[in-house]
Amino acid sequence: MSANRKGDRRERELVNALDEAGFAVMRAPASGSATDRELPDVLAGNGEMFYAIEAKSSAGDPIYLSGEEVEALVYFARNFGAKPRIGVRFDREDWYFFHPGDLYTTDAGSYRVKKETALAEGTDFAEFVGESKRTTLDDL
């Protein structure tokens, strides 16, 4: 299966999960190529939370985003009134979400998410949609 088809399938999976969680959600068709404007992959809102999401998936290798991708997401989200989020999904794992400012920045100015970082530090789907809240030792 081509990387694009797999990415499209993962985006549709995210859209369906957000829909089931009670969000009004839409996927920007061919967000990277349909327009000269950079659009997020997914827009989702439930009346309380509004997200502009750049969705990325990987078999297990680190996920990289260009500085331009992240800047475009933040710019769109700010103008739209949504929270910018990077959604990552590694094979055999769930979706994890990051604010762009929480991502590791490489020396070349791109952004990187490793699988172990996603599992340890990312916001899981239940917390992302407001179904649960993470409790850390600092909270206790």
What CATH number does residue 111 fall under?
Answer: 3.40.1350.10
Q: What is the pLDDT of residue 131?
A: 84
Q: Which amino acid is at 139?
A: D
Q: What is the pLDDT of residue 60?
A: 83
- Among the listed ranges 27-36, 53-62, 104-113, which one has the minimum average pLDDT value? 27-36
The reply, when asked if residue 11 is annotated as ligand binding, is: yes
Q: What is the pLDDT of residue 9?
A: 87
- Whole-angstrom distance between the N-terminal and C-terminal Cα of the chain? 46
Q: Which residues pair with 27 in a beta bridge?
A: 42
The reply, when asked if residue 54 is annotated as ligand binding, is: yes
| Tens digits of residue pLDDT in 29-53 | 654 554 567 789 999 999 999 999 9
Mean pLDDT for all residues in the chain: 88
Q: What is the pLDDT of residue 51?
A: 97
CA distances from 104 to 8, 16, 52, 68, 109 (A): 25, 28, 20, 15, 10
Percent of the chain past pLDDT 70, that is, above it, reads 84
Full residue range of the structural domain in which residue 67 is found: 3-139
Query: Where does the pLDDT of residue 132 fall: very low under 50, low under 70, confident under 90, or very high at 90 and above?
Result: confident
31 in catalytic set: yes
The reply, when asked if residue 41 is annotated as ligand binding, is: yes
Number of domains forming the structure of the chain: 1
- Mean pLDDT over 120-125 rounds to 94
Out of 2, 31, 66, 132, the active site residue is: 31
DSSP type of residue 138: G
